[in-house]
Structure 1
Amino acid sequence: MRIMEIISGTAVNGAVVNCLDICRALSRRGHDVTLVCRPGAWISEHAQDGNIRVIESSLDRWPLTELRRVAHVVRENDIQVIHTHMSRANFFGVLLRWLFGVPACVATAHSRYIQLHWMFNDRVIAVSDATRRFHQRYNLVRGHRIDVIHNFINEQRFMNVPTDTRVAVRREFGLMCDQPTIGVIGDVIPRKGLIHLIRALPLLIEAVPDVRVLAVGCNETDYAQQVQDEAAQLRVSDRVIWAGPRNDIERILAALDIYVLPSLEENMPLAILEAMAAGLPVVASEVGGIPECVAHQQTGLLVPPGEPESLASALIGLLTHLEQREQMGGAGQHRVRTNFSIESQIQQIEQTLERAAA
């Protein structure tokens, strides 16, 4: 097929990484792939290493200059189907479809927002069943036009980390080799619920006195300051290491004992899949698409959102039982290979694009 992928995100996030992996996988499988992204976007630079045609566009919907220009690229390359990611690109794709006669448009729902464009796509891909239910109910997407295709990762990146990485990363952060360490990765924003992990720390410290939390991600938000103030008030600031944004997540994961995600709202977080691929047990809130990733008591533990006591209890149970952690970590790796790898998901994406283009 001749496929155009359109994404509006400029920084690196789960949707952007997912789009890049799709472009590369489709190209490897013999498809002609054109990527349309905004100028200076992270994905533009990283997509240059394959047989992917990269077109930069502001994706402005008015005036119609950019729509006409991208429509010309569609006709020039005889594109059969376009596949869009994130709100700005999703609106742009629908306008291409209905104003300029692009053959077919598929949009991936990476999140859950009420927006007009969803019902005008030929097909919609939902990254979790929770996401599918939302879009059917609130965005009026008909059931026969929406497919659930879970997010996926390049699992080998997290499974083939050098054995000396754990010691090296721990040394960087002043951690002892055997010091109990839990980690959370992601921007410090309200829906990620990090404040509830901070509130769980006093209970956790009572049972595991030398525990540390390694927090990776942007921490320059107002909410991050609230979280840090809470840690100071509870006198646990010295137990939290604020690592800031990192581009070596596979190395960070290798240094952890447990991955935790105390979110209040989620769709299909790639971070959990990455942690499972790295062989870590996961403790996470039972919200959104998380229960579709984490098999409770098999690859990790699910807890009610916003309950520090439940979160602390789950973490204590795993930190004090090494054998259980190892069993869950191994089961998580198997689950990712089977259900959330590129190989297991890309065929489903191909089938959805083919159905739309038919």
Structure 2
Amino acid sequence: MPKKRILEFSTFAKIGGTQKILLDFLRHASHEKYDYSLCVLLEHDVLNEEVSLLGLENTSLHMRGYWDLTAWWKLYCFAKPRHFDLIRTYGLKADIIGRLVRKLLGIPVHITSVRSTDPWRKWYHVLLDSLTSSCTDLYLSNSEAGRIAVCRRERVPEAKTFTIPNGIDLTRFNPLSIDENRVKAMKACWGIGPSTKTIGIVANLCRMKGHDQLIDALPQIQSRFPDLKCLCAGTDFLNGKIQQYARRRSSEQAVIFSGFQKDIPEILALIDIFVLPSLWEGMPTAILEAMAMKTPVIASAVGGIPELLEHGKSALLIPPAEPDALAEAVLSLLDNPEFSNELAENAYQRVHKHFSLDAMVSQTEALYERLIDQHLPLKKADAS
């Protein structure tokens, strides 16, 4: 039986939560049954390089706008001869372009990925989505919060939506397999003492992640723990604005901006508390990773985060945009290590029970199979 041909179509190739999940999915997918390819709407970056290492075909369009005819031609030449059975898109721009390509080339199935609640969307974003929504077969969300948001905002029928939660590689994120020498070296590199209390956030520097809220909370935390360090790991999408804000708040000595990092398990092993003060979310991969590493979590109660964690049992959940609440939560865990460890243990058990990468991959490919089979033309024997 010939392989089903799948095109994964992402707006960005810079590594964020969506791209990490997509990359892990492709690493563990059933390549004996499916022929996967990747197309990136914008610039070539880490995602392309990692997918190339998997031996999968991929391209980047470097699209400058919706009317970039060169990019359209490149996309046509990539997709037309491969006769894809299904295209799945990630990000609003990729959603719109992917739906049009689906119609242009007659690709049987289109899936729109819903990765967040996206309250930032303006009326024209909603209009674009609504005008092209007839070209998509399914809105596939990683959280119930995201699924409900798209139903309400774009008036998508519930029957046209589905939820498969994110999953992570629990063999990679395993506290028993950490290289302690690597952790010590990273601490030394960043000037973190062996007994220095350290909080951290693993997230690209962008407005939704709430780095400014964390910086606002630091003075209150440092009044009790003056030597505390705050590690921020992630690519800067704000052109240095968060670093400037830390300087204005006189927190630059406490905050370490490490940039993009690959050694996330080791980072989670070296911090005492993982914080994610997001303003909005879908189902953040970084929280799942912290749960798997038994790193205590403090996060905003937004989007799909309450689907991951229960306040007071597996994490501390706080209101968004309230740095005082964030500071109080951090201090409560630093002051109560036994309670902190209890939260971390409960979160560890929960991620192993509900959010494995194997479960996500098997559920996703079963969905792909079902949608493709629904769109296969009837054979003569079936028709009779």
Q: TM-score, normalised by structure 1?
A: 0.89
Q: Which residue of structure 2 lines up, in the alignment, with residue 89 of structure 1?
A: 94
Q: TM-score, normalised by structure 2?
A: 0.84
Q: Which residue of structure 2 lines up, in the alignment, with residue 73 of structure 1?
A: 81
Structure 2: state its 5+ residue gaps. 375-384
User: Sequence identity of aligned pairs in percent?
Assistant: 31
Q: Which residue of structure 2 lines up, in the alignment, with residue 182 of structure 1?
A: 199
Instruction: Give how far 1:343 is off.
Output: 1.0
Q: Which residue of structure 2 lines up, in the alignment, with residue 228 of structure 1?
A: 246
Q: Given residue 13 of structure 1, which amino acid in structure 2 is its aligned partner?
A: G
Query: Is 1:7–1:19's contact at 8 Å kept on the other side of the alignment?
Result: no
Q: Given residue 99 of structure 1, which amino acid in structure 2 is its aligned partner?
A: L
Structure 1: state its 5+ residue gaps. none
Distance 2:235 2:38 in 1: 27
Matched, 1:31 2:41: no
Q: Which residue of structure 2 lines up, in the alignment, with residue 20 of structure 1?
A: 23
Summarize deviations over 1:14-73 as a string: whole Å, max 9, x none: 222222222222235632222223563322211123353334545676435245324423
Distance 1:237 1:35 in 2: 39
Matched, 1:268 2:283: yes
Q: Given residue 107 of structure 1, which amino acid in structure 2 is its aligned partner?
A: T
Instruction: Give how far 1:216 is off.
Output: 1.9
Query: Is 1:128–1:150's contact at 8 Å kept on the other side of the alignment?
Result: yes
Distance 1:71 1:193 in 2: 38
Matched, 1:52 2:56: yes
Summarize deviations over 1:240-277 as a string: whole Å, max 9, x none: 22323323222211110000111112222211112112
Distance 2:342 2:91 in 1: 37
SS at match of 2:180: coil
SS at match of 1:210: coil
For residues 277-356 of structure 1, the aligned pairs below 5 Å read: 277-356=292-371
Q: Say if 1:261 and 1:70 are closer, same or farther in 2 by CA, change over 3 A.
A: same
Q: Say if 1:119 and 1:227 are closer, same or farther in 2 by CA, change over 3 A.
A: farther
Matched, 1:110 2:115: yes
Q: Say if 1:29 and 1:227 are closer, same or farther in 2 by CA, change over 3 A.
A: farther
Distance 2:30 2:66 in 1: 28
Moved more, 100-109 or 156-165: 156-165
Distance 2:190 2:294 in 1: 21
Equivalent position to 2:8, from 5, 8, 27: 5
Distance 1:128 1:29 in 2: 29
Q: Which residue of structure 2 lines up, in the alignment, with residue 206 of structure 1?
A: 223
Moved more, 23-32 or 327-336: 23-32
Q: Say if 1:189 and 1:102 are closer, same or farther in 2 by CA, change over 3 A.
A: closer
Q: Say if 1:134 and 1:166 are closer, same or farther in 2 by CA, change over 3 A.
A: same
Aligned residues: 352
RMSD: 2.3
Query: Is 1:161–1:250's contact at 8 Å kept on the other side of the alignment?
Result: yes
Query: Is 1:304–1:310's contact at 8 Å kept on the other side of the alignment?
Result: yes
Query: Is 2:182–2:266's contact at 8 Å kept on the other side of the alignment?
Result: yes
Query: Is 2:6–2:86's contact at 8 Å kept on the other side of the alignment?
Result: yes
Distance 1:132 1:192 in 2: 20
